[in-house]
Amino acid sequence: MRILITGSNGLLGQKLVGLLREQPNVELIATSRGSNKLASIYPDLHFVPLDVSDQAQVQALIAAHQPTHLIHTAAMTNVDECELNQAECWRQNVIAVEYLVEACATHQVHLIHVSTDFIFSGAEGPLAEEVEPGPVNFYGHSKLAAEQLVRESQGAWAIIRTVLVYGTAHDYGRTNIVLWVRDSLRAGKAIKVVNDQFRTPTLAEDLAQGCWLAAKHNATGIYHISSDEMFTPYQMALRVADFFGLDQSLITKVDASSFTQPAKRPLRTGFIISKAQRDLGFQPHSFEEGIALLDQQTKSVQ
């Protein structure tokens, strides 16, 4: 089994590298734009630079390495940036997928594409795989368009949708709700957190596991991968404060209208994950277990 990962420098990509290196009979090819951020951790990692929005690079790399599976994690995921720079968002999230779909079909590579709850309107949740999409921002539109390209592929494919991914990674600039709340409260900083959006938060390790299970089982179709616990960000923040013994009075609950953001967010998403549990054997961590894992990981690098 030869698995190629796009976006190996990102949060999910790094978790996949760590997980797949441990699997017997898996040959791993890691790709990302720029230099390999994991070189100091895994000096023997087979890494190849790749810009997935460059058609010639995509075709040449897949032809040269002939992977059996490709897990596509690379994407433009900052929702507000996508709203403000729609041409770049479309290039990274849609045109790149068009090139990957074409190359994977040509070389009979099983494509596993990572998507998002933001393809949905936010009118209801938690959501099963067959619920009709209806994105409310450009990021969601781009990811839905990418899904459609994957679904029209002549080759084998699976779509892994996920929700509000959190975790920590090496040399990774972006924060997440757990670390943001912890670090703000430790500094005595008051924070405002929305209480009218509902999500099933996803530990990055769990998402990596879901992607690996889809490859391992040669799964086809759409799978929802997240936790099975529904929270508002405010409820998550209270749990983070409780875990670390921090002052919950610094947390003020607000509604989404309190923030001025370029991109609208769906109010209620979250996933029903019974299909992934049944077909793939997927079992997520609880949110408390996820917080504890992040605590261990951040302590180990301090």
Global pTM reads 0.97
Q: In this structure, what token pair is assigned to residue 43?
A: 């000096």
Residues in the chain: 302
Q: Which residues pair with 161 in a beta bridge?
A: 115, 224
CA atoms of 196 and 8, how far apart (whole Å): 33
- pLDDT value for 300: 77
pLDDT tens over the chain, length 302 residues: 999 999 999 999 999 999 999 999 999 999 999 999 999 999 999 999 999 999 999 999 999 999 999 999 999 999 999 999 999 999 999 999 999 999 999 999 999 999 999 999 999 999 999 999 999 999 999 999 999 999 999 999 999 999 999 999 998 778 899 999 999 999 999 999 999 999 999 999 999 999 999 999 999 999 999 999 999 999 999 999 999 999 999 999 999 988 889 999 999 999 999 999 999 999 999 999 999 999 999 987 65
Is residue 112 within 8 Å of 162, Cβ to Cβ?
no
Domain-wise residue ranges, the chain: 2-169+200-230+269-289
Phi, psi dihedrals of residue 70, rounded to the nearest 5°: -130, 120
- pLDDT value for 67: 98
Pick the CATH number of 2-169+200-230+269-289 from 3.40.50.720, 1.10.10.10, 3.40.50.170, 3.40.50.12140: 3.40.50.720
The one-letter amino acid code at 1 reads M
CA atoms of 202 and 167, how far apart (whole Å): 9
Is residue 66 within 8 Å of 2, Cβ to Cβ?
yes
Q: In this structure, what token pair is assigned to residue 170?
A: 């090496």
